[in-house]
Amino acid sequence: MKITKESLKKMVIQELTSGYLDYGGDETARMDFRTSNFKEDIERIMGLLEDMENIVRDDTRMLPKELQYLKTHYLDNLYRKIGFIEGAIDARLGGRFDEVE
């Protein structure tokens, strides 16, 4: 049996969804799979950010120097990365990225 790219994609989706679910077509399945991953990723990220907020607010052992470094280094990198993601989304919505198979 020859495994094609399309059949491999179907097998992976089937394994990841713990059984076959009829999504109404390959594209719908692919979009649903990607959306749920983004949603789960965002929920984890938001949880981590909430933890960081609590640490900054409540941990009296953090030195002002550490807080300043967090603000100027880590948060700056986070803002930049979010900006890159936003730019990529805008580019995709504006049709500036080629379709990827």
Q: Is residue 55 part of a domain?
A: no
Q: How many domains does the chain contain in total? A: 2
Q: Is residue 35 part of a domain?
A: yes
Range of the domain at 20: 1-46
Q: Give the pLDDT of residue 10.
A: 75
Q: Give the pLDDT of residue 36.
A: 62
Q: Give the pLDDT of residue 40.
A: 86
Residue 56 · residue 70 · CB < 8 Å? yes
> Are 41 and 66 members of one domain?
no
Q: Please give the chain's pLDDT, 101 residues, in tens.
A: 567 777 777 777 777 765 444 545 555 555 555 556 788 888 899 999 999 999 999 999 989 999 999 999 999 999 999 999 999 889 989 888 765 54
Which residue type does 64 have? P
Q: Is residue 52 part of a domain?
A: no
Residue 94 dihedral angles phi and psi, to the nearest 5°: -85, 0
Concatenating the DSSP letter of every residue in 6-64 gives HHHHHHHHHHHTTS----SSHHHHHHHHHHHHHHHHHHHHHHHHHHHHHHHHH-TT--H
> Are 2 and 42 members of one domain?
yes
> Are 42 and 3 members of one domain?
yes
- DSSP assignment, residue 94? T
pTM of the model: 0.53
